[in-house]
Structure 1
Amino acid sequence: MKGPNYALALALAEAKWNNSETARRINHHARQHGHSGVAVDKARVGRWIRHGERPRPPVPQLLADLLTEELGQPYTPQSLGIAPSYGVLVALDEHEHQALAEHAAAANMPLEHYAKALLRLALSQGRKGPV
């Protein structure tokens, strides 16, 4: 098993949801969307946080959707650490990093989220032709 899932813990703390509330919301949301086999309890949520366990689909997407709605910023299962993600290392020089940090601050976004948004935009435009 992995270590603690700090990304998930921080998002749930920001939403002010304890483990029981998180489980209740997931189960309710699952039923509303026709997922009758979902039965999350507070102990399971605790294992996601403390041990980095990953819930089975459709739970990661349901939780990301709930947190996106609650907190008003986009969350994905990958950003919450509850689904596989693929990292990319981009080496920036000092000036590039500073410029990126300034743009992220102006957009009121954490640097990592801003960089991901830029990459996603470039990739979506790349489908239409070179960026």
Structure 2
Amino acid sequence: MRAPNYALALALAEAGWNNSETARRINALAQERGHHGVAADRSRVSRWIRRGEKPRPPIPELLADLLTVHLNRPYTPSLLGIGPARSILIRLDPTEHHILTKSATVANMSAEQYAQALLRLALLQPRRD
């Protein structure tokens, strides 16, 4: 089982959408755009959040577009944790690794999830050029 998708859960909570409303909006946009095979429902949305399952295309793009419009800021499937995964290797010295794992434990997250969250925060901060 994968870890819960906190990024998606937070975005949907901020939008004020429950699982049924999210599915309804996805299905409506899919129909509007001519994607007739899309059939999101409450239980699927729940699995995306609780089990970290990833929806099949075109749902990730549809959901990112819906949230971008509703929350008035850009979202991508990757930012929502429902896009294709890409790996990166970051080498830490023992002290850095210890600090990371200790901080992740305090946050009740795996070290990988914690590192991802830190990296996302750093990348989304406005640049001060």
For normalisation by structure 2, the TM-score amounts to 0.70
Q: Does 1:113 align with 2:129?
A: no
Q: What is the CA–CA distance in structure 2 between the aligned matches of 1:86 and 1:76, rounded to whole Å?
A: 14
4+ residue runs over 6 A deviation: none
Partner of 2:57: 57
CA shift for structure 1 position 3: 1.0
CA shift for structure 1 position 59: 0.3
Q: Unaligned regions of 5+ residues in structure 2, if any?
A: 93-120
How has the CA–CA distance of structure 1 residues 47 and 74 changed in structure 2, closer, same or farther, with 3 Å as cutoff?
A: same
How has the CA–CA distance of structure 1 residues 33 and 114 changed in structure 2, closer, same or farther, with 3 Å as cutoff?
A: same
Amino acid at match of 1:20: S
Partner of 1:104: none
Amino acid at match of 1:84: P
Q: Can you list the C-alpha shifts for 1:23-55, whole angstroms capped at 9, x where unaligned?
A: 000000000000000000000000000000000
Partner of 2:84: 84
SS for the counterpart of 2:44 is helix
Q: Unaligned regions of 5+ residues in structure 1, if any?
A: 92-109, 119-131
Q: Over the residues paired in the alignment, what is the CA RMSD in angstroms?
A: 2.0
Q: What is the CA–CA distance in structure 1 between the aligned matches of 2:91 and 2:22, rounded to whole Å?
A: 35
Amino acid at match of 1:35: H
How has the CA–CA distance of structure 1 residues 90 and 79 changed in structure 2, closer, same or farther, with 3 Å as cutoff?
A: farther
Amino acid at match of 2:44: R
Percent of aligned pairs sharing the same letter: 61
Partner of 1:13: 13
CA shift for structure 1 position 87: 4.9
Amino acid at match of 2:30: A
For normalisation by structure 1, the TM-score amounts to 0.69
